[in-house]
Chains A and B, each alone.
Chain A
Amino acid sequence: DIQMTQSPSSLSASVGDRVTITCRASQSISSYLNWYQQKPGKAPKLLIYAASSLQSGVPSRFGGRGSGTDFTLTISSLQPEDFATYYCQQSYSTPLFTFGPGTKVDIK
């Protein structure tokens, strides 16, 4: 099984801050890594697929990098609507999938 970890588990930041979230896989997953944003009471929303490709309609302040076991999601300038929980998901072991435990971004 491929295990996913995320760090930090939570962070506090201010509007305008640059925020980076890390996702790590227990083995190399190449670039088979996707990122989602989830707001309270809402379904997750796909932000980034294949490690670095921006989903249509997602603001360009979101960026993804990495390959192998280490990946990052960066928000270049945090906006009020970006306060949410972020999950990574590996698709290397398709058709089996695992999500990371999530990183909650809240207001400082």
Chain B
Amino acid sequence: QLQLEESGPGLVKPSETLSLTCTVSGGSITSSRHYWGWIRQPPGKGLEWIGSIYYRGSTYYNPSLKSRVTISVDTSKNQFSLKLSSVTAADTAVYYCARLDTRGWFDYWGQGTLVTVSS
């Protein structure tokens, strides 16, 4: 059974860079039928797609976040990562990693990790 698990600091200071890693187990990140994505959810609000990556390194970002987001992949560790720079309180959210079918749906999700931006 495929599992995804987010890891990283739960508290980030304003103006700094948020960094999270998603570790994939029970399956290979080099699947040709899947991308890997990050989605976030501010407390009490809806879901926002952040970006996606293919194992060969192709990346796609939400235009509203593009200038601050970098997603990378490490196939040797079966992991992919998110960096979000210049964070503010508005970036406080639960961050989810998920597997993205090439046909456009997110079929496996991590449990999510809360990242709070505060000094």
User: Which of B35, B47, B52, B63 contacts A44 (CB under 8 A)?
Assistant: B47
B89-106, CB < 8 A from A: 96, 98, 101, 103-106
Interface residue total, chain B, C-beta cutoff 8 A: 22
A99 interface neighbour in B49, B60, B111, Cβ under 8 Å:
B49
Give every chain A residue within 8 A of B111 (Cβ-Cβ).
Answer: 42-43
Per a CB cutoff under 8 Å, which of B35, B39, B110 touches A95?
Answer: B35
Is A102 within 8 A of B46, CB to CB? yes
The residue on A at minimum CB distance from B6 is A43
Cα(A32)–Cα(B105), bound, Å: 9
Interface SS majority for chain A = loop
Say whether, besides A43-B110, A43-B112, A99 and B46 are in contact (CB < 8 Å).
Answer: yes
Q: A100 contacts B52, CB within 8 Å?
A: no
Residues of A within 8 A of B96 (CB): 43-44
A42 to B104, CA, bound (A): 21
Contacting pair A96 B104 (CB below 8 A): no
Q: Is the CB of A91 within 8 A of B48?
A: no
Q: Closest Cβ of chain A: how far from B21's Cβ, in Å?
A: 17
The reply to whether A43 and B103 contact each other, CB–CB distance below 8 Å, is: no
Q: Are B62 and A96 in contact (CB under 8 A)?
A: yes
Residue pair A45, B46 in contact (C-beta under 8 Å): no
Residues of B within 8 A of A34 (CB): 104-106
Across the interface, which residues of B come within 8 angstroms of A38, CB to CB?
Answer: 47
- Given the interface pairs A95-B52, A96-B62, A96-B63, the reply to whether A49 lies near B46 with Cβ below 8 Å is no
* Complex interface: chain B residues within 8 A of A99 (CB): 39, 46-49
Picked from B105, B109, B110, the residue with its CB within 8 Å of the CB of A91 is: B105
- Interface residue ranges, A against B (CB under 8 Å): 1, 32, 34, 36, 38, 42-46, 49-50, 55, 87, 89, 91-92, 94-102
24 inter-chain pairs at a CB distance below 8 angstroms, sorted by A residue, are A1-B63, A34-B106, A43-B98, A43-B109, A43-B110, A43-B111, A44-B47, A49-B101, A49-B103, A49-B104, A49-B107, A50-B103, A55-B107, A87-B47, A89-B105, A89-B106, A94-B104, A96-B49, A96-B63, A97-B52, A99-B47, A101-B46, A102-B46, A102-B47
